[in-house]
Amino acid sequence: MILHLLPTRTGGAAENMALDFLLLQRYPDTTAPRFRHYEWHRPAFTFGYAQKIGFVREQLRASAGSAPEDFDLCRRPTGGGLVDHRDDWTYAVVIPRGHPLEEVRAAQSYRLIHEALAEALRAQGIAAQTKLTDAEPMADDDAPLNEVAAKAKSPAVAGVCFQRAEIHDVVHASSGEKIAGAAQKRNKHGLLFQGSIWRPAASGVDWERFQSDFTTHIAAALEVPPEDVPWPEFNDDEVSGLTGQYSSPEWIELR
């Protein structure tokens, strides 16, 4: 078994979410963990599967300074809150069914991947660590990606992204400022982990070096070697169909 390191791709919000889900559902090598970093065609926000669209639109208007139509906007297949992708470093990890990490509680898998991320940042002088305590531990099936999911219960928390760190998020050791968060989805195929690093909170990082260090640490945690692999040959109709579903009003306004 090896950790498959997939090529970087750039897409719209719906396409990126569709491809992440297909990496969980339709990957040709069902036994291999897989990793990808990806980018965005235009300014984008994503929000968690359980979020209500009315709340999301209110947050965009109040905190992002623009109406939702000014951005690509897509509901994620994972949980969490509203995430600003305009200046982040985005990635996904899939752990296949049956791997020991896929079988542990969500808090443990969340912590392990974020510890690998923090270690890669520390190699470049960023005083990063995972947050150890929180007044409201995350649910076992849904790791919060940022503070917006909690804002409905905590009106004092302001902003869209990275204003409040949850347990096992990556933060600055001295200030507690949030650097990275993520969300998870688990089903019969395995575990999908979607993560975001806020670049301004990690100023000066060489992101090419970071990716190499990060995937090396993930591979070590999974006890498998990393290896670059080509992009899988997904069925074109399935990709376009799922992308269309994720861009549809029915999906975006599901709740």
Q: Count the domains in the chain.
A: 1
User: What CA–CA distance (Å, rounded) separates 148 from 59?
Assistant: 8
- Provide mean pLDDT across the span 89-108: 87
Query: How much is the pTM?
Result: 0.86
Assigned domain for 240 exists = yes
Q: What is the pLDDT of residues 177-236, one digit of tens each?
A: 999 999 999 999 999 999 999 999 999 999 999 999 999 999 999 999 999 999 999 999
Assigned domain for 255 exists = no
CATH of the domain at 233: 3.30.930.10
248 φ/ψ angles, rounded to the nearest 5 degrees: -80, 150
Assigned domain for 178 exists = yes
Identify the pLDDT of residue 168.
87
Assigned domain for 196 exists = yes
216 φ/ψ angles, rounded to the nearest 5 degrees: -65, -45
Identify the pLDDT of residue 66.
59
User: What CA–CA distance (Å, rounded) separates 13 from 10?
Assistant: 10
For the record, the structure tokens of 168 come out as 């096992």
Strands (E), the chain: 3-5, 9-11, 34-40, 44-47, 72-75, 83-84, 88-96, 128-130, 170-172, 178-187, 190-198, 226-228
Band of residue 132 on the pLDDT scale cut at 50, 70, 90: confident
User: Do residues 45 and 71 make contact, with C-beta atoms less than 8 angstroms apart?
Assistant: yes
Comparing CA positions, the residue from 84, 80, 16, 98 lying closest to residue 44 is: 84
User: Do residues 188 and 97 make contact, with C-beta atoms less than 8 angstroms apart?
Assistant: yes
Assigned domain for 156 exists = yes
Comparing CA positions, the residue from 141, 26, 184, 24 lying closest to residue 94 is: 24
Contacts of residue 27, defined as CB under 8 A and 6 or more positions apart, other chains included, come to 34, 94, 96, 232
Q: What is the pLDDT of residues 158-167, one digit of tens each?
A: 335 556 778 8
Domain that holds residue 129: 3-250
Assigned domain for 22 exists = yes
User: What CA–CA distance (Å, rounded) separates 60 from 72?
Assistant: 12
- Provide mean pLDDT across the span 141-169: 50
Residue 153 in this model has a pLDDT that exceeds 80? no
Assigned domain for 93 exists = yes
Percent share of the chain, pLDDT over 90 = 66
Identify the pLDDT of residue 192.
95
Assigned domain for 219 exists = yes
User: What CA–CA distance (Å, rounded) separates 127 from 245?
Assistant: 41
